[in-house]
Amino acid sequence: MILITGATGSIGTHLVRLLLDQGVAFKALVRDRAKGRARGCDVVVGDFDEPASLAAAMDGVDRLFLNAGGAQPVEGEQPMIRQQKAAIDAARAAGVSTVVKVSVWGAHQGGRLAEGAHWEIEEYLKASGLSWSMLRPSGFMQNFITGAGAFTADGKLLDGFGGAPVSYIDCHDIAACAAALLTGSHGLGETYVLTGPQALTSAEIARELSAALGRTFGHAAVSPDELAAALRSEGLPAQFADDFAELCREVAAGSLAATTTAVRDLTGRAPRTFAEFLAANEKALRAGLLATTSPDV
């Protein structure tokens, strides 16, 4: 039996569908039973901040998909570290054999924002005695669906990466890799960097969006410092804003530009291109991105 955390999120939603299609036995850990049942699968109600609920959720589970918890610090604390460590502890106590964890590309000791938090959790999992596999995806294509924080009001895509390309990946492909690891016996003790098949600049993404949705999207260069100032003006902590700006500088230097064969290696097929992602999500894009931005004129 597989337990899926983050079942209603960008990756978990796809993973639920894939496992349902495959007829694999699993249940989803959710905080809202009604929302979970809307996914059409068995659910168990629990919360990462309630250890007793985690212990109950692990009953009968032998494989855990670990993907949940907030990435933004709260009063200087990174809650995701505490939450995911609690899930690992509960899994070990329940006799779970294998954990497939979603991390981030570039996770390392002392890393900024999620990079450092995920590295600490990875190390904790490795030391737990449980079998493990790590998935380190590039940026999500799904981040473009709503346009929240990524576009100006007049439909220009913000480019804080100095024109550098990013090998964005569709969350559908991340879920497919997770399904392969959760239902197979390979990949234990391995870390996989997951990317799309190509790295695209903001200008190239704007052109693909324009072609797919029939409306012109431009792109606007913005410096990391300007992005940090905007975050601070929205009330986010100064340290968070400064760390975000530094990550933008790393991406501008090419930190997310490479592509890998990991999706094909795990699933036997190529990852979706950005054009394929747009075609598969056209309805959501029209309801999200087109509804929240005005034409670029």
Question: What are the structure tokens assigned to 250, written together?
Answer: 């790393």
Q: Which of 123-137, 244-258, 262-276 has the lowest mean pLDDT?
A: 244-258
Give residues with Cβ within 8 angstroms of 252, minimum separation 6: 160, 161, 162, 163, 164, 224
Question: Where in the chain are the domains?
Answer: 2-137, 141-169+196-257+273-297
Give residues with Cβ within 8 angstroms of 211, minimum separation 6: none
DSSP 186: -
Q: Give the DSSP H/E element, type plus range, for residue 28.
A: strand 26-30
The pLDDT-based confidence of 44 (bands split at 50, 70, 90) is very high
Q: Give the DSSP H/E element, type plus range, for residue 136.
A: strand 131-137
Pick the CATH number of 2-137 from 3.10.180.10, 3.30.565.60, 3.40.50.720, 1.10.10.60: 3.40.50.720
Cα–Cα distance list, 109 to 103, 112, 117, 120, 124 (Å): 13, 9, 8, 7, 12
- Taking the C-alpha atoms of residue 218 and residue 182, their distance in angstroms, rounded to an integer, is 41
Is residue 115 over pLDDT 80? yes
Q: Is the pTM of this model over 0.75?
A: yes
- Taking the C-alpha atoms of residue 20 and residue 2, their distance in angstroms, rounded to an integer, is 12
DSSP 141: G
Backbone angles phi, psi at 273, to 5 degrees: -75, 170
Burial (CB < 10 A; 0-12, 13-18, 19+), residue 134, is buried
Q: What is the mean pLDDT of residues 82-95?
A: 96
The pLDDT-based confidence of 234 (bands split at 50, 70, 90) is confident
Do the Cβ atoms of 166 and 200 come closer than 8 Å? yes
The pLDDT-based confidence of 156 (bands split at 50, 70, 90) is confident
- Give the rounded distance of the alpha carbon of 247 from its chain centre: 16
Is residue 199 over pLDDT 50? yes
pLDDT in tens, 47-84: 999 989 999 999 999 999 999 865 555 655 788 999 99
CATH topology of domain 141-169+196-257+273-297: UDP-galactose 4-epimerase; domain 1 (3.90.25)
Nearest to 57 by CA among 23, 94, 85: 94
What spatial distance separates the first Cα and last Cα of the chain, rounded to whole Å? 53
